[in-house]
Amino acid sequence: MAMNLDELVKTANAMVAKGKGILAADESSGTIKKRFDTIKIDSTEDSRRDYREMLFRTSDALKNNISGVILYDETLRQNAKDGTPLVKILTDAGSIPGIKVDKGTKPLPFCPGELITEGLDGLGERLAEYYKLGARFAKWRAVIDIAPGIPSYTCIRTNSHALARYAALCQENNLVPIVEPEVLMDGGHDIDTCMQVTQWALKTVFEDLYYQRVKLEGIVLKPNMVISGKKAPTRAGYEEVAEKTIKVLKDCVPGAVPGIAFLSGGQSNEEATIHLDLMNKMGTHPWAVTFSYGRALQHDPLNVWAGKTDNVVAGQRAFAHRAHMNGLAAQGLWKRDLEKAA
């Protein structure tokens, strides 16, 4: 298949359209089981389908605030209860289906405590099949941890190279790559350490994207925010997070990139919304600044639904609310009293 740059650019821009962001619903079977354990329901093919179908049929949210949905392999192939392919439900609602293509992380040899993301073998063939199944973008997550003595040069370099290889294969198969180098917020580090590591990771990634001949106007970047570690004795406030995140991005991300869709990475629902809103209140940036949230969009609807058919409408209401709040934040229009109004 010959690369169609016009198609890639059109898709990438639609993914970061004004007031819209991406729903990450690509939890692996293991991760979604942990989520379902919290509401005490079994993770089966049917229960996973029912939950995701509830989200995908929230047509107002998808039409107004959710530009695309990252799916897991199983979900891309699944039909709704009435036999309609879930991909069709998404496209009918005006949302773009995407697919998680990495195979998860494994320990990085000779680098204790560090991980490498796998999944490059046979990726070209898988991408061609995913395109036929209706996917128009893909996602690959690299994981960079901060702890004493890490990250190492080896970790940053190896993960960056894999991200760039993946991105080139995606574009060759006419899928927009979401490039996701995630600096984790699990440690006790301060915000300035996160800032330095995020800058290092992003500089390396864009260097490797250049060497792999990736067209920047046909990608979406999914970075972490520059934020204190969860275990830090004192954590930076909202304004500092917004300012330092934008500073790093302006230093590292070329203006050719259509948009930046942040991961929420362990932030609470409201925290993720406030940070995004403040960044957009700072004025216009060279690229769209929006969201690609998983837990920060799903936590409330999952708990409201709790596996019960009777709760589907209430679950959809909770999902539409979070999607709307983040849609406003992506334009710098969020206000705290809108949360209470719900």
Q: Active-site positions?
A: 180, 222
Tell me: cis bond preceding 286? Omega within 30 of 0 counts.
Answer: no
Q: 178: helix, coil or strand?
A: strand
- In 3D space, the residue among 280, 276, 164 whose CA is nearest the CA of residue 213 turns out to be 164
CA separation for the pair 26, 106 (Å, rounded): 19
In 3D space, the residue among 85, 194, 80 whose CA is nearest the CA of residue 146 turns out to be 194
Residue at token pair 């959809």: 316
Q: Which is it for strands 105-107 and 115-117: parallel, antiparallel or unpaired? A: antiparallel
**Residue type (1 letter), 145:** D
User: Between the CA of residue 69 and those of 17, 23, 210, 289, what are the distances in Å?
Assistant: 14, 5, 27, 17
Both tokens of residue 44? 């089966």
Q: Report the length, in residues, of the chain.
A: 342
Rounded distance between C-alpha atoms, residue 244 and residue 227, angstroms: 8
Instruction: Give the 3-state secondary structure of residue 271.
Output: helix
Sign of CA dihedral 48, 49, 55, 56: positive
Structure tokens at 96: 């773009």
